[in-house]
Amino acid sequence: MPDDTSGVTDGGRTTVQPGSLRSRLGDLLPGALTAVSAVVALALLVPLVWVVVQATQLDAARALDFFLRPDTLGIAVNSVILVAAVTLGSVLVGVPLAFLTVQTDLPFRRFWTVVAALPLVVPSYIGAFAFASLVGPRSSFYGLLGTAVVLTLFSYPYVFLTTRASLRSFDGTVVEAARTLGEDRLTAFRRVTLPQVWPGVAAGSLLVALYTLSDFGTPMILQYDVFTRAIYLEFKVNNLGFAALLSLVLLGFTLVILAGESRLGTSAEGAHVSSGSRRAGRLELGVWKWPALGFCGLVAVLGLVVPLGTLVSWLFRAEPGYAAGGYAFRPEYVWNSLSVAGAAAAVAVLVGIPVAYLAARGDGLLASLPERATYIGYATPGVVMGLSLIFFGLNVAGALYGTVGILVFAYVARFVPQAVGIIQSSILQVDPEHDEAARSMGDGPLQSFRRTMLPQVTPGVLAGGALVFLTTMKELPATLMLRPFGFETFVTYIWKVQEAGYYGQAAVPALVLVLVSALSMAVILSRERYDVT
């Protein structure tokens, strides 16, 4: 589940604080930093160009044929329906849970808060895998229903967390103000609470929409024809032109959602006026406590108990299809996963530091451009990233094609913003005067960076690296498409036994991935404002 940590990092970034150093940065580090950052940004973008190139190589008649065939329209309609269904479902599950855990006297609120956030640690393809094995083949669960249910269950926590954050930052005294101005509880909620909490709900919804659009594993396993699945299938039959065209359309849809997100970003900013943090009294649920508990329990059962219970049950079943057979798990897969993830993390941190430093301390648009540019790779669905790098390998860098190098490149291109985001916010927390103090005592710019900045941002750098490492561990589509022949990781192994139906063999690696995923969530939650305790 490559994207499952997306905008959470993004959303937590703080704005640049003014420091007198900023104005002088241009003189002090002439070009070097900017050049490095620009090269990084360009390198991350070049592959995408090849999707466009590949698409234009298709002759006009075939291209027209592509756009006119019913399949294409069907895929687009399916994708829109799925995005709408999952987003709506996530709001219907996430918002009530956030409200119950923040503003009511629900029993065991802290417990439910953690439980409600936890499904995020189940990579959605693992969840889909578990549900598919439960319902058995040829169930009506396949298709839209199953895909929408599974994606909702494992992505609603985005809405839950963002709504919760805005409910918590919401100043309860305004509700009291509304009540002294003659509004009862319900009207006060409608006129005061809702308009202020809405940006949080919308932000979470857009994350869910973005995630749903780019998710690959769930529609593959549950066989629902959306863009990601269609692109992969065209790729499998070597119909690269169609795959490229589909990718472009998918990127277009992605841009629409991103545009919504950026508009939201500006309107939600500066919405806080009061520094007061006192919260109005919690709503007493009374007898409604029981349905509320039932709702929380149902979500927990579907999102946690069922998928994890299924994985655990595989450990103990010996029927054909569960027991050993087919493919044996080999220790080298673990090594393969760890080494590519480690390499991706190291490169992402090295590349991320100059970009983050420039964005945090530099001046103007030029300084923030590389940082902004890295998000393009981030928003690119893994299938499209995989495809673009295949084109890149075929057309330009033949030597890279089918190597671990191009795989690592794909991971870095996709996940470097996670590192940049965390490193940037730790740089922003460093007082610029520390640097000025060091400079006044005779340190040069680099020396000062090494002696004042680096020691203070090291925890952030490590966290950024850890996050890239953990996210890479569970990336599915680009890994499937770009891995060298015969190169198996945790994820490709799970994919292979899933396709073959040898569930039992997937249990241990799948549980390990859930653990990895949980660790990456812990990294994010420990550094961001989404306080779940």
Partner 1 sequence: MSRNVRPNAREDAAAGSGGAGAAEPGDGMLELDGVTRSFGPETAVENFSLSVSEGELLTLLGPSGCGKTTTLRLIAGLDEPTGGSVSVAGEVVAADGAFVAPEDRDVGLVFQDFALFPHLTVAENVAFALEDWPAEQRTARVDELLELVEMTDHRGKSPSQLSGGQQQRVALARSLAPEPDIILLDEPFSNLDVRLRVEMREEVRDILKRTGVTAVSVTHDQEEALSISDRVAIMNNGRLEQVGQPEVVFENPRSRFVASFLGRASFLTGRVRGGTVETELGTLPTDRFNGPVEAYDGAEIDVLARPDDLQATPTTDASADGQVVHRQYNGPNFVYRVELQGGDVVRCLHNHVETFEHCQPVSVDIVADHPLAWYPAE
Site for partner 1, rule CB under 8 A: 171, 173-174, 176-184, 188, 191-192, 195-196, 270-276
Q: Take residue 175 and report the two structure tokens written for it.
A: 């509700």
Nearest to 413 by CA among 47, 23, 3: 47
- We find the least distance from the C-beta atom of residue 277 to partner 1, in angstroms, to be 9
Beta carbons of 364 and 32 less than 8 angstroms apart:
no
Name the residue nearer to partner 1 (CB basis): 173 or 239: 173
d(CA 56, CA 54): 5
Name the residue nearer to partner 1 (CB basis): 83 or 175: 175
Name the residue nearer to partner 1 (CB basis): 27 or 184: 184
- We find the least distance from the C-beta atom of residue 191 to partner 1, in angstroms, to be 8
Name the residue nearer to partner 1 (CB basis): 14 or 274: 274
Name the residue nearer to partner 1 (CB basis): 185 or 330: 185
d(CA 110, CA 101): 7
d(CA 33, CA 36): 5
Name the residue nearer to partner 1 (CB basis): 267 or 447: 267
- We find the least distance from the C-beta atom of residue 275 to partner 1, in angstroms, to be 6
- We find the least distance from the C-beta atom of residue 266 to partner 1, in angstroms, to be 13
For 246, what's the count of Cα atoms within 13 Å in the CB-facing half-sphere?
32
Name the residue nearer to partner 1 (CB basis): 197 or 349: 197
Name the residue nearer to partner 1 (CB basis): 173 or 313: 173
- We find the least distance from the C-beta atom of residue 272 to partner 1, in angstroms, to be 6
User: Which amino acid does the sequence have at 532?
Assistant: V
DSSP category for residue 441: T
- We find the least distance from the C-beta atom of residue 168 to partner 1, in angstroms, to be 15
CA angle 173, 179, 182 (to 5 degrees): 150
- We find the least distance from the C-beta atom of residue 251 to partner 1, in angstroms, to be 34
Residue burial 79-109, b: 16+ Cβ < 10 Å; e: rest = beebbebbbebbbebbbbbbbbbbbbebeeb
d(CA 116, CA 279): 22
Q: Take residue 428 and report the two structure tokens written for it.
A: 């922003």
Which residues neighbour 273 within 8 Å (Cβ) at sequence distance 6 or greater? Answer: none
d(CA 447, CA 450): 5
Cα dist from 8 to 4, 43, 181, whole Å: 9, 25, 37
- We find the least distance from the C-beta atom of residue 199 to partner 1, in angstroms, to be 9
Name the residue nearer to partner 1 (CB basis): 273 or 365: 273
- We find the least distance from the C-beta atom of residue 255 to partner 1, in angstroms, to be 28
Name the residue nearer to partner 1 (CB basis): 68 or 194: 194
Name the residue nearer to partner 1 (CB basis): 188 or 358: 188
- We find the least distance from the C-beta atom of residue 270 to partner 1, in angstroms, to be 5
Query: Is 283 in a helix, a strand, or coil?
Result: strand
- We find the least distance from the C-beta atom of residue 280 to partner 1, in angstroms, to be 8
Name the residue nearer to partner 1 (CB basis): 177 or 306: 177
User: Which amino acid does the sequence have at 309?
Assistant: G
Name the residue nearer to partner 1 (CB basis): 276 or 484: 276
In the chain, % helix, strand, coil (3-state, to 5) comes to 75, 0, 25
d(CA 152, CA 92): 10
**3-class SS string, 248-300:** HHHHHHHHHHHHHHHHHHHHHCCCCCCCCCCCCCCECCHHHHHHHHHHHHHHH
Question: Residue 434, class by beta-carbon neighbours within 10 Å (0-12 exposed, 13-18 middle, 19+ buried)?
Answer: middle
Beta carbons of 341 and 472 less than 8 angstroms apart:
yes
- We find the least distance from the C-beta atom of residue 19 to partner 1, in angstroms, to be 23
d(CA 465, CA 71): 41
Q: Take residue 64 and report the two structure tokens written for it.
A: 């027209």
- We find the least distance from the C-beta atom of residue 454 to partner 1, in angstroms, to be 36
CA 349, distance to chain mean position in Å, is: 18
